[in-house]
Amino acid sequence: MNKSKVAIIKCDTYDEEDVQRAVEAGLDLLGGLSLFVKPGERIVMKPNVLIGSNPEKCVTTHPAVFKAVGRLLQGMGANVYYGDSPSIGMAGFNMKRARLKQAGDELGIELADFDKGRAVSHNDSLLIKSFVIANGVLDSDGLVSLPKLKTHPLTRFTGAVKNQFGCIPGLLKSQYHVKLPDPYDFATMLVDLNTLIRPRLCIMDGIIAMEGNGPRSGKPRKVNILLFSSDPIALDATACRIIDLAPEVVTTSAPGEKAGLGTYHAENIEVLGEKIEPLIIHDFDAIRRAPTTRSAGRMSNFIKNRICERPAIDKAKCTNCGTCVRMCPVEPKAVDWYTGDESKPPTHKYDRCIRCYCCQETCPEGAISVEKPLLGKIYSRI
């Protein structure tokens, strides 16, 4: 069996020239960009925008990485576009806030349509037989994924695989949380999405990553690396080893290997460039235990509410803005002003909560984090 290749290049700055050199070096190690892209092809770059914010907050793929990859694709003679469907709002607005619109303008490339999409069937999938995919992706010849290295409460890690979730337009994304409340089913859906889209190449911005309460409200943490691979599972597994997170804990790893998307086993991955061991950050703040399965029928609400992790609001940080209430995808809402008093923070009803963490992901104040109930803490020590 051929091993999956993952290239690691050290880069400790977002200086454009340094990033350009680092991206070129990483692609050279993989055999050159010409292995993945042909002149004249329509290629869409997919950065991680989530909710557009200043690049210094490290929520989004940095414009320096975006520009370096864009320049090289243009140098190959590709017709380059870019896009992402954020968690809230239209793509263009969020791209502007992430300074990716300005980067795109400097490259002279256009925003593709990620706000609307078309239905596509996927007969070879593990679970989901049909997706609505953004027009910008369907109208391209290939996609180059530009994920950001960050923590995530649902999948534990967001990187090359989860980045493609933004190829589903708008609020259709949140419907997958409702349809697939079990984290392992949700992860299988992400894998199916990837086997449908098949990114040509993934280049991860891990120069300054995000630890703790990611993917939006964590802390920036210097990891000083860029990672390159055509195998999104191997790329994520390698990034996880660097932040001392076992790839087995990441929910997309096992279904990703089962679906033939890639491998997370170290013995099947050829690491090029830097060695992993000297880069490992043992105190990187991440949840290092696998999520508990919690789909209906597999666990009663009684047990779920006393053992499973759940979102919790820090009242001191909450500004009562209501974003969490609007973004909660279940009906009736699992976070709301149940007393009707909107001058106070909303509260959660955990019986209704599917632990999708849309509220945590979108809270603009970072007021929602993941907590484990007391019984859950005791249980995990047994």
List of residues contacting ligand SF4 (CB under 6 A): 311, 313, 318-324, 328, 330, 334-335, 345-346, 348, 353-359, 363, 365, 367-368
Q: With respect to ligand SF4, which residue has the nearer C-beta, 70 or 311? A: 311
- Residues 202 and 160: beta-carbon distance below 8 Å: yes
Cβ neighbours around 238 below 10 Å, total: 29
> Which secondary-structure segment (H or E) carries 335?
strand 335-336
Task: Give yes or no for a cis peptide into 311 (omega within 30° of 0).
Answer: no
CB of 351 to ligand SF4, least distance (A): 10
Q: With respect to ligand SF4, which residue has the nearer C-beta, 11 or 334? A: 334
CB of 363 to ligand SF4, least distance (A): 3
CB of 306 to ligand SF4, least distance (A): 16
Give the Cα-Cα-Cα angle 254, 259, 265 (nearest 5 degrees).
Answer: 40
| Signed CA dihedral, 264, 265, 266, 268: sign only | negative
Q: What is the Cα–Cα distance from 30 to 228, expressed in whole angstroms?
A: 8
CB of 14 to ligand SF4, least distance (A): 29
- Beta strands per DSSP E along 161-236: 201-211, 219-229
With tokens 């050199």, the residue in question is: 21
Q: With respect to ligand SF4, which residue has the nearer C-beta, 28 or 365? A: 365
| Signed CA dihedral, 368, 47, 9, 263: sign only | positive
CB of 30 to ligand SF4, least distance (A): 38
CB of 177 to ligand SF4, least distance (A): 7
Q: With respect to ligand SF4, which residue has the nearer C-beta, 2 or 343? A: 343
Q: What is the Cα–Cα distance from 22 to 28, expressed in whole angstroms?
A: 10
Q: With respect to ligand SF4, which residue has the nearer C-beta, 76 or 353? A: 353
Q: In the structure encoding, which two tokens stand for residue 129, read together?
A: 């037989």
Q: With respect to ligand SF4, which residue has the nearer C-beta, 221 or 348? A: 348
Q: With respect to ligand SF4, which residue has the nearer C-beta, 5 or 294? A: 294
- Residues 40 and 79: beta-carbon distance below 8 Å: yes
CB of 332 to ligand SF4, least distance (A): 10
